């Protein structure tokens, strides 16, 4: 990061038309300057922090929730199904609406509102001890949550494409991890605190969930702030406004290039293999340690890898590398007795590589006015994959054990690997735009700029 901080990444300030005065001129507030972009990045990261935080509220309070609400395990799991199943479709429409109607600014605000409202309804349901109301809350929360992630991705591309996009995606992954980790560690103490102050049972639970809702409001504020700054940057930077002809139609989806669908396949096949939590021959401390270790590693490593990928380019190679290493790790887990820490730690790293390298590729494939839809589709297919595979994986492990489950995951990963190799070939046959090295991309960009200048000068 240090290198890019030293020089302003967007040097040609002479195009500036609106005179920036006062505070707006300073490093922090000038959209032409790098520091402003990084400040925006912080807001961007907190945009979906609330939804990641509250998503795992039930898990953090699992035992107390089951006890206070007197519900079964399966009713508890319902809080997650009501979130995830609707999103198998909904976040596609969320992305589409961002492109078509709302725009990313209004979209982010609306989806943040849904997130906040969902959490409030969820908490209200707990407060009056109505499980169906809590399910409704989770449903509303889900409508917002996943689509908000789509909006966040779209924002990231809008502000960082051609610059630190891979690192930004890495950082977003890392924030989602931080969000759920903070939730896991903070909710129980809050619960204890509230119950010590005299509130008991579901009443206490409701209050605790309302407190969780405060984080959602924080995210809502971020959405509003981001909307303001984005609009301001549009004006100052004179970003191109979309004409009505350019806005997406639903039928445009069928014209998405094959590379986009390959990307979807990689996305779903890779992520399904990362969902499971292994039970290490009855060693709960090991299982807990290993799983949280992977979380921490990917939180720390993804921005670093993102930065590296920004410097080197060649995203598809990184994807192939990440997938191959993950295959190796799963093979270690399945076929050897080598300490699982080794495989899981390595997997934490390869996961980070993949997450940072994969998502920005979409921005190269699909024009910006269709990007919300593209990310919506990726997210929707991923959700579908996760939901279906969770069921399949459960059935496999219960009937045939972890060895066969690992083989199943290995097959999924091999499909992801094949898809990424195909992606490389298809791209290479079209000129290799996606897998360009950063250096070459820079050269090409300068080349293009020069061409443009020449053409602009010609009529004179």
Partner 1 sequence: MAVTVTFVSKVFSVVLLIIVLLETIVALRTIQTELNPGCDDTKEDCAGGVAYIKAIGDQNTFHYILTAIGPPTVLVIKTEKTTKDAGISINWDNFKSGNITEMENSIKLDPSYKILYSYGVVFTRLFQYNDTTDVAELGKLNLNKTAFRVFDFSRSMFEWFDLKAISSDSAIKLRVKNSSAVMGQTINNGSLEFKFMFFDHMDRATDLPHLQYTEDTSQFDFKLMNINTGNMSLSRFALETVLFSTDPADRDMKFDETKSIDDEYTPGVFTISNWLTRPEKEEQGGYLQHKPVCYTKAYRERAVGTYVRGYGLTKVTDVQYLLNQSAVLAYFGSENMAKLRISSTNFSFGLSEDGTFTKTNYTVWTGSLGYGKPPMDAVSSLVVVVISVGLGIPVVLIIFGGIFVCLKKKSDPLLVDVSKNAMSVN
Contact 378, 263 (CB under 8 A): yes
Structure tokens at 318: 């990184």
Beta bridge partners of 313: 437
Tell me how far, at minimum, the Cβ of 338 lies from partner 1, in Å.
11
Q: Any residues with CB less than 8 A from the CB of 271 and at least 6 apart, and which?
A: 382, 385, 386
Shortest distance (Å) from residue 285 CB to partner 1: 7
What is the DSSP-derived secondary structure letter of residue 242? P
Rule CB under 8 A: is residue 417 a binding residue for partner 1? yes
Of residues 443, 448, 452, 453, which one binds partner 1 by CB under 8 A?
443
**Per-state percent for the chain, helix, strand, coil, to nearest 5:** 80, 0, 20
* Interaction of residue 397 with partner 1, rule CB under 8 A: yes
**Separation between Cα atoms, residue 402 and residue 413, nearest integer Å:** 16
Q: 394 near 270, Cβ under 8 Å?
A: no
Name the residue nearer to partner 1 (CB basis): 40 or 316: 316
Stretch binding partner 1 (CB under 8 A), from 13-21, 85-93, 99-107, 420-428: 420-428
Please tell me the distance from the alpha carbon of residue 380 to that of residue 385, in angstroms, as a whole number.
Answer: 9
429 binds partner 1 (CB under 8 A): yes
In order of 49, 310, 315, 434, 444, the CA distances from 438 in angstroms are 30, 7, 9, 11, 10
Which member of 128, 242, 391, 404 binds partner 1 (CB under 8 A)? 404
Residue 231 vs 279, nearer CB to partner 1: 279
How many amino acids of this chain bind partner 1 (CB under 8 A)? 39
- Which residue, 60 or 222, has its beta carbon nearer to partner 1? 60
Segment near partner 1 (CB under 8 A), from 30-38, 86-94, 349-357, 414-422? 414-422
The gap between the terminal CA atoms of the chain, to the nearest Å, is: 41
Residues 149-178 that bind partner 1 (CB under 8 A): none
Mapping DSSP to helix (H, G, I), strand (E, B) and coil, where does residue 400 land? helix
* DSSP, res 20: P
Single residue of 67, 403, 442, 451 touching partner 1 by CB under 8 A: 403
Residue 204, burial from CB neighbour count under 10 angstroms (0-12, 13-18, 19+): buried
Q: Is 432 in the site for partner 1 (CB under 8 A)?
A: yes
CA distance 137 to 123: 8
168 torsion bin: left (phi>0), alpha (psi -120 to 50), beta (else): alpha
Give the residue with the Cβ less far from partner 1, 284 or 459: 284
Tell me the sheet residues that pair with 428: none
Half-sphere exposure of 160 (CA within 13 A, CB side): 31
Sequence-distant (6+) residues with CB within 8 A of 313 are 435, 436, 437, 438, 439, 440, 441
Nearer to partner 1 (CB atom), residue 214 or residue 414: 414
What dihedral angle (degrees, nearest 10) is formed by the CA atoms of 344, 345, 346, 347?
50
Task: Single out the residue of 342, 401, 445, 453 in contact with partner 1 (rule: CB under 8 A).
Answer: 401
Min separation Cβ 396 and partner 1, Å: 9
CB of residue 225 to partner 1, shortest distance in Å: 41
Residue from 10, 308, 384, 421 touching partner 1 (CB under 8 A): that is 421
Q: Which stretch binds partner 1 (CB under 8 A): 50-58, 143-151, 339-347, 440-448?
A: 440-448
Question: Among residues 27, 391, 392, 428, which is the contact residue for partner 1, using CB under 8 A?
Answer: 428
Report if residue 444 touches partner 1, rule: CB under 8 A: yes
The string of DSSP letters for 71-91 reads: --HHHHHHHHHHHHTTHHHHH
With CB under 8 A as the contact rule, which of the stretches 259-267, 291-299, 364-372, 441-449 interacts with partner 1?
A: 441-449
Query: Rule CB under 8 A: is residue 415 a binding residue for partner 1?
Result: yes
Task: For the CB of residue 361, give the shortest distance to partner 1 in the complex, in Å.
Answer: 16
Q: Which of 398, 455, 457, 459 binds partner 1 (CB under 8 A)?
A: 398
| Cβ proximity to partner 1, 42 vs 428, nearer residue | 428
Nearer to partner 1, 242 or 395 (CB): 395
Chain-centroid distance of CA 176 in Å reads 7
Per-residue x/- marks for partner 1, 354-393, CB under 8 A?
A: ----------------------------------------
Query: Position of tokens 């080197």?
Result: 312
For partner 1, give the closer residue by CB, 15 or 73: 73
Identify residues 263-282 at the interface with partner 1 (CB under 8 A): 279, 281-282
Q: How many CB atoms are located within 10 Å of the residue 288 CB?
A: 12
Site for partner 1 in 336-355 (CB under 8 A): 336-337
Chain contacts with partner 1 (rule: CB under 8 A): 279, 281-282, 284-285, 334-337, 397-404, 407-408, 410-411, 414-415, 417-418, 421, 425, 428-429, 431-433, 435-437, 440, 443-444, 447
């Amino acid at each position: 990061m240090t290198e890019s901080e030293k020089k302003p990444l967007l040097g040609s300030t002479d195009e500036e038309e609106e005179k920036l005065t006062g505070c707006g001129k300073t490093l922090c507030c000038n959209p032409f300057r790098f520091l402003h972009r990084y400040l925006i990045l912080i807001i961007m990261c907190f945009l979906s922090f609330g939804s990641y935080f509250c998503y795992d509220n039930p898990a953090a309070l699992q035992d107390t929730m089951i006890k206070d609400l007197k519900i079964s395990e399966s009713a508890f799991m319902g809080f997650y199904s009501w979130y995830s199943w609707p999103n198998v479709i909904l976040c596609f429409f969320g992305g589409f609406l961002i492109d078509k109607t709302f725009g990313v600014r209004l979209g982010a605000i609306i989806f943040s509102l849904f997130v906040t409202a969902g959490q409030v309804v969820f908490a209200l349901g707990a407060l009056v001890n109505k499980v169906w109301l809590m399910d409704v809350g989770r449903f509303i929360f889900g409508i917002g949550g996943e689509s908000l992630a789509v909006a966040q991705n779209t924002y990231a591309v809008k502000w960082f494409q051609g610059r630190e996009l891979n690192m930004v995606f890495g950082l977003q992954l890392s924030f989602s991890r931080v969000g759920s980790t903070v939730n896991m560690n903070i909710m129980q103490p809050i619960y204890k605190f509230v119950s010590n102050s005299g509130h008991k049972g579901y009443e206490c639970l409701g209050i605790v969930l309302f407190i969780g809702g405060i984080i959602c409001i924080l995210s809502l504020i971020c959405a509003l702030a981001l909307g303001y700054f984005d609009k301001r940057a549009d004006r100052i930077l004179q970003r191109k406004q979309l004409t009505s002809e350019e806005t997406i139609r639903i039928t445009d989806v069928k014209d998405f290039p094959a590379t986009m669908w390959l990307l979807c396949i990689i996305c779903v096949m890779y992520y399904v293999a990362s969902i499971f939590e292994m039970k290490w021959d009855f060693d709960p401390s090991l299982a807990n340690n290993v799983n949280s270790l992977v979380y921490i590693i990917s939180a720390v490593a993804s921005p670093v890898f993102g930065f590296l990928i920004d410097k080197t380019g060649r995203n598809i190679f990184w994807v192939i590398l990440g997938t191959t290493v993950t295959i190796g790790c799963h093979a270690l887990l399945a076929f050897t007795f080598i300490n699982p820490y080794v495989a899981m730690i390595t997997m934490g790293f390869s996961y980070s590589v993949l997450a940072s390298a994969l998502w920005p590729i979409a921005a190269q494939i699909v024009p910006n006015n269709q990007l919300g839809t593209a990310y919506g589709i990726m997210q929707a297919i991923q959700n579908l994959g996760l939901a279906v595979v969770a069921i399949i994986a459960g059935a496999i492990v219960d009937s045939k054990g972890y060895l066969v489950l690992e083989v199943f995951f290995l097959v999924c990963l091999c499909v992801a690997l094949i898809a990424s190799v195909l992606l490389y070939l298809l791209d290479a046959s079209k000129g290799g735009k996606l897998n360009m090295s950063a250096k070459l991309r820079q050269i090409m960009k300068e080349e293009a700029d020069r061409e443009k200048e020449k053409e602009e000068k010609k009529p004179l």
